[in-house]
Amino acid sequence: MNMSAPRSDRPRLFLTRRIPEPGYSLAHRVFRVTGGEQDRPLARELLLQGIAGADALICLLTETVDGPVMDAAGGGLRVISNMAVGFDNIDVAAATARGILVTNTPGVLTDATADLAWALILGTARRVAEGDRLVREGRFEQWGPFLLLGRAVAGATLGVVGMGRIGQAVARRATGFDMRVLYTRLRGPLPADEAPAGARWEYCPGLDALLSEADIVSLHVPLDSGTRHLIGSRELGLMKPGSFLVNTSRGPVVDEAALVDALKAGRLGGAGLDVYEDEPRLAPGLAGLDNVVLLPHLGSATVETRGRMAVMAVESASAAVRGSTVPHMVNPEVLSRMMGP
């Protein structure tokens, strides 16, 4: 679809930082673009200056977009398009009160994030990072029957906390490992026909039962007031001795200090983290542990996925300012209000 328009007719878009191709070029075809020259988080004062006069904003999780930022746009801001599935960096209530649409980019990163969750599952259970360090540091002298013994993944029990798109994708991959899958879901059990043939998926009405039975627990919940520190000292104490915790959702879902204590005590077999409570800072003691694999928020980090996310963010912003059908609205009540009774 040709979305380009004469430059003088184009609405103004402010980019908080550079976005991947082909989204970056698309943005310049359909908008008068300011910002986005560099790939690093934008200082708040520059955000407040740059957004002035903008019709649309494309931001990432690295920027906090609150009421003062929205007001700095000068009253013409119509859409905040977040290049992410999550949107806890945006004050959605403030946007709704001002009649500003908020959009996100769900679905497109499901497989990439599920793949990374599985990289962490296998990496922690089979001690991959420890083995890599051993070889690189010249400490690998010879094979031995007790060298870096890990735990079997095939046939184990996987606990999926949050059975949305990504949680289901992680669970589907477990079928190839002949795993029993326990899961929690706010809306209750999935319809029976949504599980793939041969899968062993079992709904757990409570988190405690899942934690006490799973060999590996993988977190896939959004961050809100009900999920902040969902996994704390009490919950870690319920997990099976020697089990593993994987988090590719949001950092504050886990009480990181409590996790460090559990790992130091040797109660857990290990943990694999792609997100952090106070990202990019780590809880004291976390980086020094051998039984944890730490990644720098790579869940959607494939060329294909990030490119599709960028295009989706631009298309949502363009649709909103042109009055077209807007996909993936976080606050659709704004659109209803704009259309009237």
Token match 């289901």: residue? 168
* C-alpha dist (Å) from residue 129 to 76, 252, 301: 50, 24, 19
Buried b (16+ CB within 10 A) or exposed e, 103-136: bbbbebbbbbbbbbbbbbbbbbbbbbbbeeeeee
Verify whether residue 37 is a known catalytic residue. Answer: no
Q: Cα 259–62–66 angle (5° rounding)?
A: 110
For residues 44-82, one letter each, b for 16 or more C-beta atoms within 10 angstroms of the residue's C-beta and e for the rest, the string is eeebeebbeebbbbbbbbebebeeebbebbeeebbbbbb
Look-up of token digits 């809306």: 187
What sign for the dihedral angle of Cα 104, 318, 341, 68? positive
From 250, 306, 308, 328, the catalytic residue: 250
Q: Which of 180, 200, 267, 297 is catalytic?
A: 297
H or E stretch covering 184: strand 180-184
Is there a catalytic annotation at residue 250?
Answer: yes
Token readout for 197 is: 């043939």
Of 98, 130, 200, 279, which residue is the catalytic one?
279
Helix (H, G, I), strand (E, B) or coil at 153: coil
* Active-site residue, 187 included: no
Inter-residue contact 142 to 197 (CB < 8 Å) = no
* Cβ contacts of 172-181, under 8 Å, gap ≥ 24: 172/114, 172/196, 172/199, 173/114, 173/115, 173/118, 174/199, 175/199, 177/153, 178/154, 179/153, 179/154, 179/155, 180/156, 181/157
Which position has the token pair 């908080």?
A: 16
Largest CA distance in the chain: 76
Q: Would you please indicate which residues are annotated as catalytic (active-site) residues?
A: 250, 279, 297
